Amino acid sequence: MGRLSVNLCGIELDNPIIPASGTFGYGYEFAELYDINILGSFSCKGTTLHPRFGNETPRIAEAPAGMLNSVGLQNPGVDAVISEELPKLAKCFHKPMMANVSGFSIDEYTSVCEKLDKEPQVGWLEVNISCPNVHGGGMSFGTDPAMAAEVTKAVKAVTTKPVIMKLSPNVTDITAIARACEDAGADGISLINTLMAMRIDLKTRKPILANVTGGLSGPAIFPVALRMVWQVAHAVSIPVIGMGGISSAEDVLEMMIAGAAAVEIGAANLADPFVCPKIIADLPAVMDRYGIERLEGIR
């Protein structure tokens, strides 16, 4: 293993840098800019059972040291992802990728995961449980330990590949959610998803986003993400992927020292599409500066 290599749920990565879901499309779009095989992996755009147009516009709003988004899981649906998107990706990416899955019922989660689990390009299933439970009053699956465990158990029953549960930070005790997922069989945890937020247009005196609220991401949320990763990494024994406002090699080291086995980089990709290769290139020198020989083991 090299200086930057890490192990994630039994799969070795050349480095811990993984572009986050929703900021990297299905991968091949960024392959027009650079060789995406330099990445550890990437998490694809959130995929649902049926095609989704997403929320009404405006969907994006600026914020100090970050941005708000309310895209609404726009995607072509899992069947189109398998038949159209993955073949395009196979031409330019030759490593295992992370399939990000969203659903609005247990059946939707299991159906999408079961389909994607069969795809040879998929190394991990990242299950986003920040979605509202349409059969449970609209409460997010990720805000209740019992519901989080139910999704985890159901997905694990129909899959063979590592299942990583992606947690929402919009909860009182994130460690309770993480432990419930681990007890239900999760192979890993990723966090954090975006923080619920809003902006108001002073001219119209109305919310900027058509959906009123959206998810805050970017450097503003890094300290919150770091705290939650630290808490979860000390509460579970399975690997943790840290994300939330990472934009530099120094941020990566902080997140890994806090307990992350790998990291995902989200909003920074939208500000600078070359941020991931820059961070990978910067890591050795920054590691030297702080006396770190290898990333594996600094947690």
**Mind telling me the catalytic residues?**
131
SS3 state at 127:
strand
CA 177 to CA 146: how far, in whole Å? 8
10 sits in the region (left: phi over 0; alpha: psi -120 to 50; else beta) called left
The one-letter amino acid code at 254 reads: E
CA-to-CA dists, residue 24 to 17, 181, 228, 288, angstroms:
13, 26, 24, 29
Q: How many CB atoms lie within 10 A of CB 288?
A: 11
Task: Name 179's Cβ contacts closer than 8 Å, sequence gap at least 6.
Answer: 145, 235, 236
Residue 149: what are its φ and ψ, rounded to 5°?
-65, -40
- Yes or no: say if 17 and 274 are a contact pair by the CB < 8 Å rule: no
Q: Which helix (H) or strand (E) holds 68?
A: strand 66-69
SS3 state at 196:
strand
Residue with tokens 């395009």, as numbered in its chain: 88
